[in-house]
Structure 1
Amino acid sequence: MDAERFNAYRIMWVIVLYDLPTETKANMKDANRFRKSLIDDGFTLFQFSMYVRHCPSRENAEVHIKRVKCMLPKAGKVAIMCITDKQFGDIEIFFARNKEEPPPTFQQLELF
Structure 2
Amino acid sequence: MKDEFVMMQFSIYTRHCASEESTEVHMKRVREAVPQKGHVSILKVTDKQYGDILNFFGATEQLLPPAPTQLELF
User: TM-score normalised to the size of structure 2?
Assistant: 0.88
Q: CA deviation at 1:62?
A: 1.2
Q: Aligned equivalents of 1:85 and 1:72: distance in 2?
A: 26
2:10 alignment counterpart = 48
Counterpart code for 1:41? D
Give unmatched runs, 5+ long, in structure 2: none
Structure with the higher strand share, 1 or 2:
1
* Equivalent of residue 40 in structure 2, options 54, 69, 78: 78
Q: CA deviation at 1:76?
A: 3.4
Q: CA deviation at 1:97?
A: 2.4
Structure with the higher helix share, 1 or 2:
1
Aligned length: 74
Give unmatched runs, 5+ long, in structure 1: 1-38
* Equivalent of residue 25 in structure 2, options 63, 77, 82: 63
Instruction: Give the secondary-structure state (helix, strand or coil) at the position aligned to 1:75.
Output: coil
Instruction: Point out which structure has higher relative CO (alpha carbons under 8 A, 6+ apart).
Output: 1
Instruction: Give the secondary-structure state (helix, strand or coil) at the position aligned to 2:40.
Output: strand
Aligned-residue identity in percent: 50
Counterpart code for 2:22? N
Matched, 1:102 2:55: no
Q: CA deviation at 1:93?
A: 0.2
Counterpart code for 2:73? L
User: TM-score normalised to the size of structure 1?
Assistant: 0.61
Instruction: Give the secondary-structure state (helix, strand or coil) at the position aligned to 1:51.
Output: strand
Q: CA deviation at 1:64?
A: 0.5
Which structure has the larger Rg over C-alpha atoms? 1
1:21 alignment counterpart = none
